[in-house]
Chains A and B, each alone.
Chain A
Amino acid sequence: MTPVITLKNLWKNYGSKSVLKGIDVSIHAGQVIGYIGPNGAGKSTTVKILCGLITDFEGEVYVNGIDIKKDPLTIKQKIGYVPELAELYDVLTPLEFLKLMGELYNMEQKVAEERAIKMLTAFDLGNNLHSRMDTFSKGMRQKVLLTSGLLHNPEIIILDEPLSGLDANSVIIVKDLITKLAREGKTIFYCSHMMDIVEKVSDRIILINNGTIVADGSFDDLKQNMGDTSLEKIFANLTAKEELSTAADQLLNALD
């Protein structure tokens, strides 16, 4: 079976600094990929390359066998992206914003509007359809952002910290949604620092550190190989420069 996403020897340099150092990954349909790593590991850079935000990289990126450098628009049409930062044109109302998103994803206006209303209502924003988003809380903005990423029913969904600012009920909804979308055959690329959630929702976990993949497999595989019981511990073992309890002690000592 052809992989949905293929990254071959992916490199990205900022000046003399290499952020990605030869990433090789193949992802198949219906998988939920937990893409994790410490700050500055290269997660966001990978995501930005996949979404077409960064174009000057070395290596190859294929989505459904299509080369991203040759036909970025076809690939963008297949991807739904929820960025880490809730960047919105916030003087617009959520409905105005989502209608724009629908147009840009070549959806029929009526379909986009109907879907936007249904999704926002499911997110408990039914009463705020016509309010300007500059009055919204962080969680409300995140819900609009999630809706914009899913509106055109994409095959691949890239989520960068999608639960940021959401209340507990909304977190349950989104977690459930991720599982159900994967069951429908969608491929989900999930970046997060919330290890417990990554552990629960992911079929496969890719751990990146300093621009290279340091672990790749299901949670059970990783547990078996590393001998640790939680993803948090596996993460710490593979990425921490020193014993974390030592760092905590150093912080505590600084208070003396």
Chain B
Amino acid sequence: MNIINRYLLRFILIPASFYEKAGIHLPHLKAILTAKLTIDDRRPNSFQQVKQQTDEPKAINNATLGTIFISLLFGLFMLISLLYGSNYTTKLTLFFSMYIFMLAGTLITDFTTVLLDIRDNLIILPKPVNDRTVVMARLLHIFIHISKLAVPLSLPAVLLIAIMKGITGALLIIPLLFIATALTIFFVNAAYLLVLKITSPEKFKNFITYFQILFAVLIFASYQVVPRIINKAHLENLDITQIKWIWLLPPYWLGRTWDAFILWRMTEADLIAISLCVILPVLFIWLVIKFFAPSFNKKLSMISGGSESTTTASHKIQSSTSTKKIATVLASIFAKQGTERAGFQLCWNMMSRSREFKIKVYPSIGYLGIYLFILLFNQKGTGSLNDPDAKRIIFITVTYISSMLVSTALQHITVSEKWKASWIYFTAPVQQPGMLITASVKAALVRFFLPVVIIVSTASVILWGISMIPNLALGFINQILFFMISSLVTLQKLPFSNAPENVVKGNSFLRGLFVLVLIGTLGLIHYILFEKIWIITILSCISLMVSYVLFRKLGNTTWRQLKMNYEV
């Protein structure tokens, strides 16, 4: 256990006599929390889950320090809210909105694995530990976790307020931060419960996966897009007290309460805000303890089996049947008979269902959207879309930047935590293992590249007419060429057969560099020759032929070549 967890544990166990009076067995409580905090420390946090799943298990030690450091960075970023707005109610409403959003997001993404950890049912429940100790251990564990997020997240703001409004202002914001934290816990609990109520426990896990992806994208958007769209002059004069529906937002009550106390302004509206701040969180926490927590635990136990297991199983069968149908139809269109068709179906199903694949690849879809937004946003000031230069830049960037998505998918299609299941390839009488590789490339292209082709082509033709077709053809064929080259150089492994810890970090960096240089070069050549339609047409044909030759080469990969890769 690291030093921070050790001190937090010591701090939390100070009211020992209170715990004992409440019927809590102190040595059990300490033992459970010690184990839980040690486990936390060895578990990657949400940011690491998305960014560093390829690390070796040992490299994720001290995840606590990582969480604290990242929270502190976001805390600094949130200071932006205190620099704008014409009054403190506005500043603090913005600040509390960001605080609640960040805390809720990290709680859902980072702590879901803890909340959904059903191993407790088998490990702790058969032991002679009383229920109160188990419940208190869970509550204190959540409290410690939240403290590690909330303190660094709010510390920069508390310090800035101390500088701007003196120590009173800083002291006054601390209880409001507690209330905001309590509200966040309520919202997260309510969201969990709502989702569990309308879906099966199994779908709940999917919901969490998609939320993690959305959260990663939103964080990316917040530091890429927000600074670009913020109109400083407008923000400096912003006064949200004028907006009527603002009363619906709890951050407003918190901001207004702080402002009311600092100015000692007790109007009717201020008194309502203060009352809402005090009464509702208490009510919410009571609701959580009394109703939500027990039913949540009950629902949670269903994930491990029990009475609804059959219902869950039937859900699974239904969803897998529809995916299977799509996979079968697409495989019959895009893949040859035999090995390649089987490989295509396998890859399609894995890409649709594997949680780890989705978490690694799907955020790229969001990142792509954000890049496109930034691109169009930057162009907005420079002229119309029909301006020849703007048209050329936008077209080339949009076309070539979309390769990022397929490239990410290809990078992860060979990796799986369940890589041991790949024994099937090695024991089955597969004559041409390269077919499995081309199947994985085809499945990734159909899933991630084909939609891009359709969207970009349609948009280009609508915006600029059919004269864009030769350029569209070269753009997409060049990307296929790029996928073939990068697959030949770096892929050369069977789908989902590589252990995450075998993906060496240095290789990822070199691969990234290679991908950038290669796609950049292809894009630059296209950019230079953009208006020369005849050359563009000839280049398209050449690029297509080279792509075909490379695709054949990839399909002809032998067992001997593959085994060399696996022996490394």
Residues of A within 8 A of B (CB): 14-15, 51-53, 73-74, 76-77, 79, 81, 83, 85, 87-89, 91-92, 96-97, 99-101, 103-106, 132, 134-135
Please give, as numbers and ranges, the residues of chain B lying within 8 Å of A97 by CB-CB distance: 35
Interchain CB contact under 8 A, B122 and A83: yes
Stretch at the interface among B25-33, B46-54, B457-465, B524-532: B25-33
Q: How many Å from the CB of A43 to the closest CB on chain B?
A: 14
Please give, as numbers and ranges, the residues of chain A lying within 8 Å of B121 by CB-CB distance: 53
Partner of B31, one of A15, A83, A103: A103
What is the CA–CA distance of A101 and B28 in the complex, to the nearest angstrom? 10
What is the CA–CA distance of A106 and B28 in the complex, to the nearest angstrom? 8
Interchain CB contact under 8 A, B31 and A91: no
Query: Is B130 in the interface zone, CB < 8 Å from A?
Result: yes
What is the CA–CA distance of A73 and B124 in the complex, to the nearest angstrom? 12
12 residue pairs of the A-B complex, CB under 8 angstroms, read A89-B35, A89-B123, A91-B43, A92-B42, A96-B38, A100-B32, A103-B28, A104-B31, A104-B32, A104-B129, A105-B127, A106-B128
Q: Given the known inter-chain contacts A53-B121, A104-B31, A135-B57, please indicate yes or no for A73 contacting B39, CB distance below 8 A.
A: no
Centre residue among A77, A87, A88, A91 by max chain B CB count within 10 A: A91
Centre residue among A53, A74, A89 by max chain B CB count within 10 A: A89
In chain B, positions 112-153 with a C-beta closer than 8 Å to chain A are 119, 121-130
Interchain CB contact under 8 A, A87 and B119: yes
Query: Is B322 in the interface zone, CB < 8 Å from A?
Result: no
| Total contacts A-B at CB 8 Å | 71
Partner of A87, one of B38, B123, B127, B129: B123
What is the CA–CA distance of A87 and B57 in the complex, to the nearest angstrom? 19
Interchain CB contact under 8 A, A134 and B35: no
What is the CA–CA distance of A97 and B38 in the complex, to the nearest angstrom? 11
What is the CA–CA distance of A40 and B29 in the complex, to the nearest angstrom? 36
List 5 other contacts, CB 8 Å, given A89-B123, A96-B35, A106-B27.
A14-B306, A88-B119, A88-B123, A92-B35, A132-B57
Interchain CB contact under 8 A, B119 and A53: no
Please give, as numbers and ranges, the residues of chain A lying within 8 Å of B242 by CB-CB distance: none
What is the CA–CA distance of A43 and B480 in the complex, to the nearest angstrom? 57
Query: Is B318 in the interface zone, CB < 8 Å from A?
Result: no
Query: Is B81 in the interface zone, CB < 8 Å from A?
Result: no
Please give, as numbers and ranges, the residues of chain A lying within 8 Å of B119 by CB-CB distance: 87-89
Query: Is B34 in the interface zone, CB < 8 Å from A?
Result: yes
Interchain CB contact under 8 A, A101 and B127: yes
Interchain CB contact under 8 A, B128 and A74: yes
Query: Is B307 in the interface zone, CB < 8 Å from A?
Result: yes
Interchain CB contact under 8 A, A91 and B42: yes
Interchain CB contact under 8 A, B128 and A105: yes
Partner of A85, one of B35, B57, B122: B122
Task: Please classify the interface of chain B as helix (H, G, I), strand (E, B), loop, or mixed, using the class held by over half of its residues.
Answer: helix
The 6 closest A-B pairs by CB, nearest first: A103-B31, A76-B128, A104-B127, A91-B42, A77-B128, A51-B126
Interchain CB contact under 8 A, A104 and B43: no
Partner of B39, one of A85, A92, A101: A92
Q: Given the known inter-chain contacts A14-B307, A76-B128, please indicate yes or no for A100 contacting B122, CB distance below 8 A.
A: no
What is the CA–CA distance of A83 and B124 in the complex, to the nearest angstrom? 12
Interchain CB contact under 8 A, B124 and A104: yes
What residue in chain B is nearest A132 (Cβ atoms)? B57
Interchain CB contact under 8 A, A52 and B126: yes
Interchain CB contact under 8 A, B126 and A81: yes
What residue in chain A is nearest B30 (Cβ atoms)? A103
Q: Given the known inter-chain contacts A134-B57, A135-B57, please indicate yes or no for A104 contacting B42, CB distance below 8 A.
A: no
Interchain CB contact under 8 A, B126 and A76: yes
What residue in chain A is nearest B122 (Cβ atoms)? A87
Partner of B125, one of A15, A52, A134: A52
Q: How many Å from the CB of B270 to the closest CB on chain A?
A: 50
What is the CA–CA distance of A132 and B501 in the complex, to the nearest angstrom? 15
Q: How many Å from the CB of B324 to the closest CB on chain A?
A: 21
Q: How many Å from the CB of A44 to the closest CB on chain B?
A: 9
Interchain CB contact under 8 A, B57 and A73: no
Q: How many Å from the CB of B95 to the closest CB on chain A?
A: 36
Partner of A91, one of B32, B39, B130: B39
Please give, as numbers and ranges, the residues of chain B lying within 8 Å of A92 by CB-CB distance: 35, 38-39, 42
What is the CA–CA distance of A74 and B128 in the complex, to the nearest angstrom? 7
Please give, as numbers and ranges, the residues of chain A lying within 8 Å of B126 by CB-CB distance: 51-53, 76, 79, 81, 83
What is the CA–CA distance of A103 and B57 in the complex, to the nearest angstrom? 27
What is the CA–CA distance of A92 and B306 in the complex, to the nearest angstrom? 28
What is the CA–CA distance of A196 and B156 in the complex, to the nearest angstrom? 68
Please give, as numbers and ranges, the residues of chain B lying within 8 Å of A52 by CB-CB distance: 125-126
Please give, as numbers and ranges, the residues of chain B lying within 8 Å of A83 by CB-CB distance: 122, 126
What residue in chain B is nearest A85 (Cβ atoms)? B122
What residue in chain B is nearest A15 (Cβ atoms)? B307
Please give, as numbers and ranges, the residues of chain B lying within 8 Å of A104 by CB-CB distance: 28, 31-32, 124, 127-129
Interchain CB contact under 8 A, A100 and B128: no
What is the CA–CA distance of A99 and B28 in the complex, to the nearest angstrom? 11
Please give, as numbers and ranges, the residues of chain B lying within 8 Å of A73 by CB-CB distance: 128-130
Please give, as numbers and ranges, the residues of chain A lying within 8 Å of B43 by CB-CB distance: 91
Complex interface bits, B3-38 against A, C-beta within 8 A gives 1, otherwise 0 = 000000000000000000000000110111011001
What residue in chain B is nearest A135 (Cβ atoms)? B57
What is the CA–CA distance of A32 and B35 in the complex, to the nearest angstrom? 34
Please give, as numbers and ranges, the residues of chain B lying within 8 Å of A85 by CB-CB distance: 122
Q: How many Å from the CB of A52 to the closest CB on chain B?
A: 6
Please give, as numbers and ranges, the residues of chain A lying within 8 Å of B57 by CB-CB distance: 91, 132, 134-135
What residue in chain B is nearest A74 (Cβ atoms)? B128
Interchain CB contact under 8 A, B35 and A132: no
Interchain CB contact under 8 A, B128 and A132: no
What is the CA–CA distance of A14 and B125 in the complex, to the nearest angstrom? 20
What is the CA–CA distance of A205 and B539 in the complex, to the nearest angstrom? 79
Q: How many Å from the CB of A229 to the closest CB on chain B?
A: 37
Q: How many Å from the CB of B120 to the closest CB on chain A?
A: 9
What residue in chain A is nearest B31 (Cβ atoms)? A103
Please give, as numbers and ranges, the residues of chain B lying within 8 Å of A135 by CB-CB distance: 57
What is the CA–CA distance of A106 and B125 in the complex, to the nearest angstrom? 14
Please give, as numbers and ranges, the residues of chain A lying within 8 Å of B129 by CB-CB distance: 73, 76, 104
Please give, as numbers and ranges, the residues of chain A lying within 8 Å of B122 by CB-CB distance: 53, 83, 85, 87
Q: How many Å from the CB of A17 to the closest CB on chain B?
A: 9
Q: How many Å from the CB of B62 to the closest CB on chain A?
A: 13
Please give, as numbers and ranges, the residues of chain A lying within 8 Å of B125 by CB-CB distance: 51-53
Please give, as numbers and ranges, the residues of chain A lying within 8 Å of B31 by CB-CB distance: 99-100, 103-104
What is the CA–CA distance of A104 and B119 in the complex, to the nearest angstrom? 15
What is the CA–CA distance of A15 and B306 in the complex, to the nearest angstrom? 10
What is the CA–CA distance of A89 and B122 in the complex, to the nearest angstrom? 11
